[in-house]
Chain A
Amino acid sequence: MNQHTIDLVNKQGLQFFGSVNASISHELKNIFAIISETAGFLNDLTQLSKQGKQLELSVLENCCNSISEEIERGFDTIRRMNQFAHSVDDPVRETSILDTLTLAVKLTGFLSFAKKTHLNETSVDTTVFTSPFLLQALTYKTLGALYKTLNAGDELTLIPTFGGPDPSGVTLVFSHGQPADLTDFPDPLTAEVADALKAVFKKTKTGLELFIPRTNDYLAAALADRQPVQKSI
């Protein structure tokens, strides 16, 4: 059974890493495309200037600002990528719920459809002892599945509740305020991840609730013998 969990981490790891890296690379391509067009436009203006056409300083200023904004967007994307890469540093550890959710929301945002998640951050953060990587994968897959049920422009609300009726865990409430067709959720792979985390889904009229236990002895035992991967910078 322990080997099954390790296999699951490996199998999900490849698939999840591939999926997230693809979405990040797409985001970076869009950023480079804007920078490339803006630089090309500046070059066009330079050529026109050589032919005697007067340059408007405000146009140059706007181009510089646009490039700066896109570079900042690129840095932010790379910061998220780095944060995501570090989720495999430790097989199991105390894992911040808000950090995990914030990153999942950002990563699913790269999917680029007009479906956004509003993360209710009014709650004080808490941690759960679990696999940070699998928890990241589970929240990402859940958001992705819910996005498929939304219409363009719909916004999902994600509310972590730490002081709920069950003190043995954290409940994440995913809601978009209208009935959602989640007949095919969770898919087998997502269900497998939830099972390994001992997380429990509960469908509601307007979305989902996901219960995450504060401790996970099963997972700790399964992964404890694994050496942490060499941490990257």
Chain B
Amino acid sequence: MKQVDILIIDDEIKFADMLSRRLSLRGITSQACYDGLSGIQWVKENPGAAALILLDLKLPDMYGTQVLAHIKETDTVVPVFIITGHGTREDEKECLALGAAEFIHKPVSIEKITTLLTHVRGEVQ
């Protein structure tokens, strides 16, 4: 099982990779998945292995809410933060109802993400 601090599920490959590199410079480990299915698969193969998940809403193969529902079936504990350039109030309501921790609009600062991780780690400890 592969332990990471953050699982990034986002089809904007450049965004996911650049975020991953910036996190790495801060000593934060991450794994990027570029579609919903591979994100779900990663969570199934590595249950409880990510401290938090950043999930885009519109993915190439399925809607983010579907991915969120699948993840929550596998891992009820992991906080899932929706980070999206898309998204309406209805999307936000639906995601929160499905168990998302927060709904965040892109662009998002690296400081915000590191704060989320610190917060999550603080809650776990």
A: which residues have CB within 8 A of B?
A: 22, 26-30, 32-34, 36-38, 40-41, 44, 48, 66, 70, 111-114, 152-153
Contact = CB atoms under 8 A, between A and B. Distances in A.
Given A37-B18, A40-B22, A30 B62 contact: no
A23 to B, nearest CB: 8
A114 B88 CA distance: 20
Interface of B: 11-12, 14-15, 18-19, 21-22, 25, 35, 58-62, 85-88, 105-110
Contacts of A30: 12, 15, 85, 106
A153 B59 CA distance: 12
Interface of B is mostly: loop
Given A29-B85, A40-B110, A153-B61, A66 B14 contact: yes
B12 A34 contact: yes
Contacts of B110: 37, 40
Contact of A29 (B14, B22, B107): B107
Contacts of A113: 58-60
B85 A44 contact: no
B15 A152 contact: no
B60 A33 contact: no
Contact of B15 (A26, A34, A153): A34
A38 B107 CA distance: 12
B105 A29 contact: yes
A153 B22 CA distance: 31
Contacts of A22: 88
Contact of A112 (B14, B58, B108): B58
Given A37-B18, A37-B110, 13 more contacts: A29-B85, A29-B107, A30-B15, A30-B85, A34-B18, A37-B14, A44-B22, A66-B18, A70-B14, A112-B11, A113-B58, A152-B61, A153-B60
Contacts of A38: 14, 18
A152 B14 contact: no
A152 B60 contact: yes
Contacts of A27: 85
25 contacts: A22-B88, A26-B86, A29-B86, A30-B106, A32-B107, A33-B106, A33-B108, A34-B12, A37-B22, A37-B107, A38-B14, A40-B18, A41-B18, A41-B21, A41-B22, A44-B22, A44-B25, A66-B14, A111-B58, A112-B58, A113-B58, A114-B35, A152-B61, A152-B62, A153-B61
A34 B105 contact: no
A48 B24 CA distance: 13
A221 B109 CA distance: 54
A66 B107 CA distance: 16
Contacts of B85: 26-30, 33
B108 to A, nearest CB: 7
Nearest to A23: B86
A87 B105 CA distance: 30
